[in-house]
Structure 1
């Protein structure tokens, strides 16, 4: 055989296409992470202003006129209302203006992400300094001392997401990417559900009681973890039902390449560029990170939307998996799909 024949024999067209696909994933990974993180800056941060009626409108206008539109300021009735909105995650900061003093008070919520609270503090401090005023910073929902920069919730959710798509990928590698029939699809989803419950319980145990890295309800975090793992796993099974083993790459594209940098972990949503800010809340890592922080630091407030997002991925993934299994004509021959390792097992 010539060298060219050896190459053709060793590297099939399918293998070459898969390698090209992996190269594309790598490029997308670099572009997505660098695009999201290379130049974080605050934009339209929900912000409250507490000031006497005669100067309230002027104070709001002054903050909204900051170059670049860093703050989306609105008047708030009093300090108690501002604190409540911060803990409900309706705003990310609030300025309490004291016209009888040269010092104002800035309320922040460090549990929502240290980078965001620090960015808000920097913006407000620069404005106040220009007017020869000082700012006293009060954190009404601080991150736990063991939770470095409020990132433990993000790392926890990333771990759950990895567990979800790896579980589905292992099922594909072991018994073929596409279930042989609806019954086998139900078995896979059932196995994924059991795995998800175990992953949720263990992840919450490690991050809370074992490491002390994240406060909040253990059962609340465990339940969230089970939902995150199942949502990601079911989505991966659905992609595999649609595209075979290539579906694993599609799951990585959605969850890792697009989902992780837009999750609001290292940089919360107001610091991300428009594209990542828009897609983050709709993807499992973003929904999971927001919900984990809410459980840990905000008394479980503002979790309905993220839980609905995760439920939609879970239900949608399971439904597509079952539908694709029902549409597939079972092939008893071994090697039904040359891209599926172990396809002959027909599970």
Structure 2
């Protein structure tokens, strides 16, 4: 007859490894709160790049407004200003009318509704201070079924979740570290097939099903496939080096840091400098920018976002293969 010592089960459960995992989860949770609340609690325009059709002195006044909400580049005419917005070199434009009392502000809500609203508030304050009227024109409006241009962000988040959940499931079912490069290659092949289907599914949902981002089906499909594969590959690589802790690191990168800095709910020039600095270099932000540029800006300025997504995918592949080689080398024994 086996007599269990009271409390032995509890002591067995509270191992140093278990306590370390609990502490890790707590740190991820607190990081989540700090990152989201820190980036979103007080949105404030900072250095929003705009074009200005105005005399240099007037443009300088715009550039030196209290709080530095704008970063102004003087251009020749309205056509040039519109081109800069379309090419993603400016987020808006202020057109001063020298022959009348009403100026024009160009905004692009397709790049994000809150940013367009912030530009409008700044422009209206400038016009009121000078005793002038202001006409606001949205030159790249978000779609009727895409409120505040949020669909791109949530589409990217959905794809990202699928990518790291797939990698997490592979780690749980088959072990976090592939025993050899061939098995790592099989995991990558599985992730690639899943990514193609995931990208396809997301494109179907936002285009023919919900009509939220219509007319760009193929481009969205392949952006989604690249994003999902890169997320899965990076998570697999982190698992290969860190074990189950790698899943937490993936969540830290893609969700805790990636979501608030992506320019989804609040665009990058409305959030604090730390999140603004990292947003373009994390797949969440790069993917959100890529989708918006495809849908609302004729596919302009896609080079950097696609390079970022491709870079993460390549890094994940290389690191996973290296991780599998490291395990193989550790398992080698000398012949006796």
Q: Scaled by the length of structure 2, what TM-score is found?
A: 0.95
Counterpart mapping for 1:259-278 below 5 A: 259-278=258-277
Which of 2, 7, 10 aligns to 1:7? It is 10
Residue number in structure 2 paired with 1:25: 28
Residue number in structure 2 paired with 1:162: 161
User: Any stretches of 5+ residues in structure 2 without a counterpart?
Assistant: 332-336
Which whole-Å CA distance do the structure 2 matches of 1:196 and 1:209 have between them? 20
C-alpha deviation, 1:10, in angstroms: 2.4
Which whole-Å CA distance do the structure 2 matches of 1:46 and 1:246 have between them? 40
Please provide the CA RMSD for this pair: 1.3
Which whole-Å CA distance do the structure 2 matches of 1:152 and 1:304 have between them? 21
SS, match of residue 28 in structure 1: helix
User: Any stretches of 5+ residues in structure 1 without a counterpart?
Assistant: 333-347
Which whole-Å CA distance do the structure 1 matches of 2:7 and 2:66 have between them? 61
Residue number in structure 2 paired with 1:37: 40
Counterpart mapping for 1:168-317 below 5 A: 168-317=167-316
C-alpha deviation, 1:5, in angstroms: 2.9
C-alpha deviation, 1:15, in angstroms: 1.4
Tell me how many residue pairs correspond in the alignment: 328
C-alpha deviation, 1:4, in angstroms: 4.4
C-alpha deviation, 1:136, in angstroms: 0.4
What are the Cα deviations for residues 288-333 of structure 1, in whole angstroms up to 9, with x where unaligned?
000000011000001100100111100001100001101113899x
Checking the alignment, whether the CA contact within 8 Å between 1:180 and 1:330 is kept in structure 2 is: no
C-alpha deviation, 1:2, in angstroms: 4.9
C-alpha deviation, 1:216, in angstroms: 4.0
**Cα distance change, pair 3–68 in 1 and its aligned pair in 2 (3 A):** farther
Residue number in structure 1 paired with 2:334: none
Checking the alignment, whether the CA contact within 8 Å between 1:102 and 1:133 is kept in structure 2 is: yes
Residue number in structure 1 paired with 2:137: 138
C-alpha deviation, 1:3, in angstroms: 4.6
Checking the alignment, whether the CA contact within 8 Å between 1:216 and 1:297 is kept in structure 2 is: no
Which whole-Å CA distance do the structure 2 matches of 1:215 and 1:134 have between them? 36
Which whole-Å CA distance do the structure 2 matches of 1:39 and 1:228 have between them? 30
SS, match of residue 138 in structure 1: strand
Checking the alignment, whether the CA contact within 8 Å between 1:181 and 1:330 is kept in structure 2 is: no
Residue number in structure 1 paired with 2:52: 49
Residue number in structure 2 paired with 1:335: none
Which whole-Å CA distance do the structure 1 matches of 2:20 and 2:10 have between them? 14
What are the Cα deviations for residues 164-191 of structure 1, in whole angstroms up to 9, with x where unaligned?
0000001001111111111000000000
Which whole-Å CA distance do the structure 1 matches of 2:329 and 2:255 have between them? 32
Q: Mean Cα displacement is larger for which, 4-13 or 132-141?
A: 4-13
Checking the alignment, whether the CA contact within 8 Å between 1:215 and 1:297 is kept in structure 2 is: no
Counterpart mapping for 1:121-136 below 5 A: 121-136=120-135
SS, match of residue 328 in structure 1: helix
Which whole-Å CA distance do the structure 1 matches of 2:13 and 2:238 have between them? 28
Which whole-Å CA distance do the structure 2 matches of 1:316 and 1:331 have between them? 22
